[in-house]
Structures are given as C-alpha cells and as structure tokens.
Structure 1
Amino acid sequence: MERGQTVAMTQSARARWAALSRGVVSNESFPGSDLTSVVAGAMVFEHVDLSRADLRLATMRAFFKMCSFAGANLRGANLRGATFAGCDLTGADLRDADLRDARFSYVNTGSDNGRTNLTGVRFEGADLAGASFDRVIGYVALNDEGA
C-alpha cells in the first residue's frame, strides 16, 4: 500500500470513529487503523474489529462484546471500568494501561469461543486494581510475591 493510501485510510477510520454516536456500535471494522487518543464513553461495541489497531492513549470506558483487539496497541490507554466480554485480545499490548475496575469475562455461547482470550497480552506496568478475570483463557495470574 502506498503512503497516500495509508493516510486516506487513516483519515477515513478517524472520520468514521468520530461519527459514532453514543449507544450501540455493531459490526464495524477498524483493523490496523491509527486511532491514537480516540475517546469512547458510555457505549456498547458488539462484533467490532479493532485488530492490529493503534489505540495508544485512547480513553475507552465502554462495554466490548465479542470484539477483536488481536495484536492491537493499547499502551497507555485509559480503560478504567471497561468490560471485555468474549473478546479476542490475543497479543494485545496493554502495557501501562489503566485497567482499574475493568472486567474480563465471557459471553455464554456454549463453547470456548465465548471466553475472552488473553493469550500473549502484555500487562507490564498496567494498573489492574479491582480488575476481575472471570472464565478467561490464556491468562496466568501472578501470585502475591509477583512471581
């Protein structure tokens, strides 16, 4: 892809993001988009593809249901109080993210595909105070000694 195409695609993704209204956002696709510093307040995202998106420093205190954040860069993002239900966070970078009171859980689909996948997620420096992990896969909790 040429540079001009990348810039046009990024502007298009940012314009589409800016046009999202409060409420429910379903079946949108932003793979690989530059969405640094975007804001999403009290919204519900269902089946939204944010795989490989650059969401550094984003503020997203939303409810995410069956969304893909696979390979996404969420470094330094404010995700305080966000809920990830049945989401794919495989390989996502959550270093230095504010995840206080965030919930990582599952959607009861009758199979493992309804569980939030945290395989390979990077949590270094993330604030996980009050975060809960309910029936997720790929996450190994640290013991009290941090080992």
Structure 2
Amino acid sequence: MDNISGLLKAALILIMLSAPVAMADDSGLRELINEREKQMNLQIAAIRSELAVANKALEFRLAGMNEIRSQLSDQAATFLRKDEAKAQFEKLEMKVDMLQSAMAKREGSARWTDYMVTIAISAAVFLLLNLANGMISGDVKK
C-alpha cells in the first residue's frame, strides 16, 4: 500500500511540474489537486483497514484449517496400515480354519458317541423289558 500511496504522490507531483507556470499559480488547480490527494489518502486508508480485517479473517480461517489438519494427522497416526491389517486378517483366517476343523472333528466324534450311547441305552431297555416280562410271567429261573 505504501507503494500505491507513493506512486499517487509522484503522479501528482509530475502533473504539477508538467503544467504551465500560469496554471501552477492558479490556486483553484492547487485546491483541486490537494482535494484529490485527500480523497486518495482516505481511499488508501479505507483499503488498508479493509485489508487488515481481511487478513485477520484469513488468519482465523487458516488457524481453523491447521487445527483440522492436525487432528487428521493425529487420527491418521492411529490407523492400522494396510499390510499390518492384511497380516492380522490372515492370522485370524488360519485360526478360524483350525477352529472349524476342530469343531468338525468334535461333531463327528460327538455323533459317533451319541450313536453308541443310543445303542447302549436301547440294549439296556431291551434287557430290562425282557427281564421284567420274565418276572411277570414267572419264567425267570432262580
């Protein structure tokens, strides 16, 4: 902004120097130039004020963005990397496969055990019924 102000003043000085001597003595022209210089200085001051407000708003926005960026960086540090996740997933798959095969063996042996228990109970019931029938009919030998 100082460059703009300096350029405007330099332009005004050039205008004043390039004007004929008769015009330089004209007080109306000097008043016009002075009035224009005051207006330009007011506009420059207003622009500087607006620029300061815009800079503060930008700094506030950038601070918010930096905070979000920091949070994302912290959050990303806690994420599991793809290769680590893949290795853990493969280990879990192996454990699941082992558990499935163990369960299949247990189910197979449990079915066999259930079958044997059923036969044993059936045989015991058959024997008890035969003994009971024999006692009732009196055929049991003593």
Whether these two folds match at TM > 0.5 is: no
Bigger radius of gyration among the two: 2
Q: Give TM-score, length-normalised by structure 2.
A: 0.20
Q: Give TM-score, length-normalised by structure 1.
A: 0.20
